[in-house]
Structure 1
């Protein structure tokens, strides 16, 4: 699970082409199902439009980067009508006021927890109006994700989850259950992490042309399935990018 603030600002890295595609600037929420459908990526240049990556095309969200298989997964916003519709609804969640089913305004939301595998909003961090109380509202207590307003069950305060607890899917569905598991995080250099991800991406793909060393020795022949040994040979011969660009599923 990730807070929104832990995702926004991360670089987006393409595993296949070995390139950085820009930083995540925001998320696009579908209020009908409480899911982050897209990540907004900064424009390639100041005079160009912002871009999007569908959450379904996200390979992973680590501590240091968001990865996707190919750079073509990042597209211009105007090329995705469904995303434009969601942007017009302008449901941010963070910054929303909280209202109970019976119409009582009670505090606001200053963060949300996102399942990095599915994009599901699993909890919203509530701050009381007097700022004396805070806690995570489980998604099952949310009735409506609205523009500027989060409508919740009347008894939501009794279901609040302590932020210090591990935020797991089963915890959010049952606030009485607390897991004491240590989450997996990426503490290594993000570029090293990216390189490792790319190597894993290549293994098992089909080579589309012969890859040779400068001396003419074969690293991988057309039609071969990429193996770890081929990857190691390509790296040693400075042919890794060539191998990357000449494979298919």
Structure 2
């Protein structure tokens, strides 16, 4: 499971095209299903339009990047009427006030927990009105995801949980691109890295890549070698190297 704050800001990378497609700017929530249906992608250049990707087209969400099979999965918002309709409803969840079925207001939501495999909102992190208490409201206690308001079952406070391991969600499998068995068994982010290594070797470095302690990993103008890739991985600079090469 992932927090919204762990997803927003991640670079969006294409596995097949070996390309950076921007970064996740926000989530598009479907209040009828209580799920994230799309993610808004902010372009790398400010003058380009914002686009989006369907949660079904996300290959993996790791600590360093969100991956998708091909850059064609990131499309113009205007081309997806379903996303436009959801955006018009302006349901954010985070920042919403919490109200019980009988009309009792109590606190706000400052974070949501998302099952990255299905897009379902598994829980909402509640903060009491006086800030004295917090906890996770499991999705089965939520009655309505509304604009600026989350309606929950009465006495929800008694059913709060402290961490995501206590949340029981129904297992739902999203449609995925069919892969060979060997590929399917791999972690999506690891699969992305393996693909990247194949493409990177022999490409030209476009800027100096340094480790956090200032050691040179790759110099501008050099051709990428396997040793260079291994050094970048060891220094946690693999994504940086990936984004700064050309043919």
Q: TM-score, normalised by structure 2?
A: 0.69
Question: Corresponding residue for 1:166?
Answer: 165
Question: Corresponding residue for 1:5?
Answer: 5
Work out the CA distance in 2 between the residues paired with 1:196 and 1:100. 49
Deviation above 4 Å: which 4+ runs of structure 1?
A: 197-200
Question: Corresponding residue for 1:117?
Answer: 117
**Residues 43, 127 of structure 1: alpha-carbon distance in 2 compared, 3 angstrom cutoff:** same
Question: Corresponding residue for 2:33?
Answer: 33
Work out the CA distance in 2 between the residues paired with 1:134 and 1:82. 34
TM-superposed deviation, 1:58: 0.3
Work out the CA distance in 1 between the residues paired with 2:166 and 2:20. 30
Give 1:198-237 correspondences, 5 Å limit. none
Work out the CA distance in 2 between the residues paired with 1:168 and 1:75. 33
TM-superposed deviation, 1:168: 4.6
**Aligned alpha-carbon RMSD (Å):** 2.4
Question: Corresponding residue for 1:194?
Answer: 192
The answer on whether the counterparts of 2:122 and 2:169 sit within 8 Å (CA) in structure 1 is no
TM-superposed deviation, 1:46: 1.6
TM-superposed deviation, 1:45: 2.5
Work out the CA distance in 1 between the residues paired with 2:196 and 2:80. 27
The answer on whether the counterparts of 2:23 and 2:44 sit within 8 Å (CA) in structure 1 is no
Tell me whether 1:99 sits opposite 2:99 in the alignment.
yes
Question: Corresponding residue for 1:221?
Answer: none
Work out the CA distance in 1 between the residues paired with 2:169 and 2:17. 37
Work out the CA distance in 1 between the residues paired with 2:84 and 2:168. 29
Work out the CA distance in 2 between the residues paired with 1:111 and 1:197. 33
Q: Which has the larger radius of gyration?
A: 1
